[in-house]
Amino acid sequence: MKLIVAFVHSSHAGPVVRALEQADLYHLSLSRVHGVVQPDAAIVRADMGSEGELEVRLEAYCEDAHFEQVVGLIREKGHVGGLPSGAVFVHPVDHAWPVSQAAAGER
């Protein structure tokens, strides 16, 4: 299993989510963040209020066989013209459990 974390411009979050839904990839969450995706840009801190560009952090979980498809859709639909427009990170997921009462002997 993979965890994919992507930062995209807020105006492109909707098309990214719709593309993932159309591909039957539903395990995702979105958060609004103030972020910096370019190394040479000014640093944006939480105490700076509304300064800096509002972005969306998307987290998606998928089986190993689908992560390239997910990354491809995010990069295609999250791209903004000729500008650098975000970042995508892929992390391995070693274990995943539902949030529920564990059965006897289960962690």
Position 69 scores a pLDDT of 94
Q: Which residues of 31-68 are buried (b: 16+ CB within 10 A; e: fewer)?
A: eeeebeeeeeeeebeeeeeeebeebbbbebbbeeebbe
3-state secondary structure of 97: coil
Q: Among 14, 58, 18, which Cα is nearest to 35's?
A: 58
CA distance 38 to 18: 26
Q: pLDDT tens digits, residue range 38-59?
A: 556 555 555 555 555 678 899 9
Q: 2-92: what fold?
A: Alpha-Beta Plaits (3.30.70)
pTM above 0.85, yes or no: no
Domain ranges for the chain = 2-92
The rounded average pLDDT for each run of 10 residues, N- to C-terminus, in the chain (107 residues) is 91 92 88 66 53 80 92 89 77 88 61
3-state secondary structure of 73: helix
